[in-house]
Amino acid sequence: MKPLKVALLGCGTVGSAVLRLISEQADDLTARVGRPVQVVGIAVRRPDHHPDVPAHLLTTDAEALVTRDDVDLVVEVIGGIEPARTLLLAAFEAGKSVVSANKALLADDGPQLHAAAAKAGVDLYYEAAVAGAIPLLRPLRESLAGDQLRRVVGIVNGTTNYILSRMAETGAGFAEALAEATDLGYAEADPTADVDGFDAAAKAAILASLAFHTPVAAADVYREGISAVSATDVARAAEIGCTVKLLAICERVGNGNGDGDSVAVRVHPAMIPTSHPLASVGGAFNAVFVEAEAAGQLMFYGQGAGGEPTASAVLGDLVAVARNRLAGASGQGPTGYANLAVRPIADTPTRYHVSLDVADKPGVLATVAHEFARHEVSIATVRQDGHGDAATLVIVTHSAPDAALSATIAALRDMPAVRGVTSVLRVEGLS
């Protein structure tokens, strides 16, 4: 049987795992696809850094590789925006289907790439771009295509989840937990993309686009990282039966007055009740909680990063794309027919958990409560810890527009009776 020939872009942690699995599972892949799968070229920047790869497969000319006449499929695992975007567009123009793990590129240029693939009549699959080995994007795009999704909430970054889990388990501060994550290989030498939420925001954009049939870019996602989360924040969460997680939250929200729906997409640390299914997701694992009108609540859980888990998702897409290729067809891509407006964070309803250092004297609580009322923010619970110079007010609000909550916090910082706003965290899932 004539093999289906694959061009591999990148041979790092994920690319080398893809290459190895294609070799190890050659017979099974042949049976599943209907033809052998053969890697015919691997584009890398420094061929001498890959002594375990047959030299005849290696090339530094990625564009020539993806446009070769004998290449059927392109697997892109180099990451980043360029040259990946140029290479994928060249592959589509040459009639090649593409499997990608590139969350940043899909979040920035998803509509353009999908349009190019559709014009060429080829596939663009990218299950590995979000949550590693967890089968998530295809269920959103296909299995739940007959339902209306209302909410997708997930832990989609293993590095930050490991850090926050260790802070909860050991009482460590952020810097200490980050150092441990770095030593164990869970965090990069430069952890900015993870701890500042950029990685999770790209994944949230992809999830929201698929779930709500609306183009959402990473720039549309409100983003906060976890570097400001303190050991005290984590301890305060435990006191009210919660834990702190970095959440990607995608919601379809009614605009009111019969004015249709909009989409709210945000990434930030939040307190969630320990009874919530996401609260028990520890270490570097990922999980995504989906709420649909007919299907109800669904949970997807597993390893969200790493060479082999990500390569597993890549091979799943490769098999699907190869089958489509042999059938002379392309799979159904995402639809953007809803084209809902993206709601800014200022208008998005959220809840806050606020800790204030205050002067311990009569009338302070009433003054603070008046400031919340002035901004039309209702208080759910309030507790005072300590006394004298060590007095702390801990307030949990009801849901209100984020702009009103932010304005309240700004006003509190200027009050003479408030020595300091020591902590502000959003709260999700409390009744």
For residue 349, with 0-12 CB atoms within 10 Å meaning exposed, 13-18 middle and 19 or more buried, which class applies?
Answer: middle
Instruction: Give how far Cα 393 sits from Cα of 353, 354, 398, Å.
Output: 11, 8, 16
For residue 171, with 0-12 CB atoms within 10 Å meaning exposed, 13-18 middle and 19 or more buried, which class applies?
Answer: middle
Q: How far apart are CA 253 and CA 268, in angstroms?
A: 18
Q: How far apart are CA 247 and CA 229, in angstroms?
A: 13
Written as one string, the DSSP assignment of 37-55 is: EEEEEEE-S-GGG-TTS-G
Specify whether the CB–CB gap between 69 and 75 falls below 8 A: no
CB neighbour list of residue 269: distance below 8 Å, 6 or more residues apart: 164, 224, 225, 226, 229, 244, 245, 246, 247, 425, 426
Which candidate in 5, 96, 103, 203 is catalytic?
203
Which residues are bridge partners to 153 per DSSP?
Answer: 249, 289
Specify whether the CB–CB gap between 137 and 210 falls below 8 A: yes
Let me know if 203 is a catalytic residue.
Answer: yes
Q: How far apart are CA 325 and CA 58, in angstroms?
A: 25
Token pair in block for residue 218:
């990473």
Q: Catalytic residue numbers? A: 203
